[in-house]
Structure 1
Amino acid sequence: MLTDLLDPAAHADHWLWALVLLLAAVVVGALLPVLPTGAVVSAMAALGHHRSWLSLGEVVVVGAVAAYAADVVLYALLLRGAHTGPGRRLRRRAGDHGHLEELGERLARHDVGTLVTSRLLPGARVPVLAAAATTGYPAVRFAVADVVPALCWAVTYAALGLAGRGVSDRPWVGVAAAVAFGLAASGLTSLVRRLRAR
Structure 2
Amino acid sequence: MIDTLGALGWLFLVVAFGAIVPVVPTGAAVSSAAAFALHEYPYAIGLVVAAGAAGAYTGDLVMYAMCRYGGEQLARRLHWLNDEERLNAVRARLQRRQVTVLLVSRLIPGGRVPVLLAAAFAGVSWRTFVIANLPACVLWSLVYSTIGLLGASIFPEPWQGVLAAIVVILVVNQSITWISRWWGRRAARASTSSTS
Under a length normalisation based on structure 2, what TM-score does the superposition of the two structures give? Answer: 0.85
Report the 3-state secondary structure (helix = DSSP H, G, I; strand = E; otherwise coil) of the residue aligned with 1:166: helix
* Divergent runs of 4+, >4 A: none
1:156 aligns with 2:143: yes
> What is aligned with 2:122?
135
User: What is the total number of aligned residue pairs between the two structures?
Assistant: 185
1:76 aligns with 2:68: no
5 Å-filtered alignment, 1:67-146, equals 67-82=56-71, 85-89=73-77, 93-96=81-84, 99-146=86-133
> What is aligned with 1:171?
158
Shift of 1:90: 5.3
Per-residue CA deviations over 1:107-165 (Å, capped at 9, x if unaligned) read 24323321233212222211111111111111111011101111111111111101111
Equivalent-residue separation in structure 2 for 1:92 and 1:38 (angstroms)? 19
User: Does the 8 Å contact 2:32/2:165 carry over to 1?
Assistant: yes
Report the 3-state secondary structure (helix = DSSP H, G, I; strand = E; otherwise coil) of the residue aligned with 2:91: helix
> What is aligned with 2:179?
192
Q: Structure 1 unaligned runs (5+)?
A: 1-11
1:147 aligns with 2:134: yes
Equivalent-residue separation in structure 2 for 1:102 and 1:178 (angstroms)? 32
> What is aligned with 1:8?
none
> What is aligned with 1:40?
29
Equivalent-residue separation in structure 1 for 2:139 and 2:179 (angstroms)? 20
Shift of 1:32: 1.1
Shift of 1:99: 4.7
Under a length normalisation based on structure 1, what TM-score does the superposition of the two structures give? Answer: 0.84
Report the 3-state secondary structure (helix = DSSP H, G, I; strand = E; otherwise coil) of the residue aligned with 2:124: coil
Equivalent-residue separation in structure 2 for 1:47 and 1:92 (angstroms)? 32
| Cα gap change, 1:95 to 1:80, in 2 (>3 Å) | same
1:180 aligns with 2:151: no
User: Does the 8 Å contact 2:154/2:161 carry over to 1?
Assistant: yes
Supply the AA of the counterpart residue of 2:163.
A
Shift of 1:103: 2.1
User: Does the 8 Å contact 1:121/1:190 carry over to 2?
Assistant: no
Shift of 1:72: 0.9
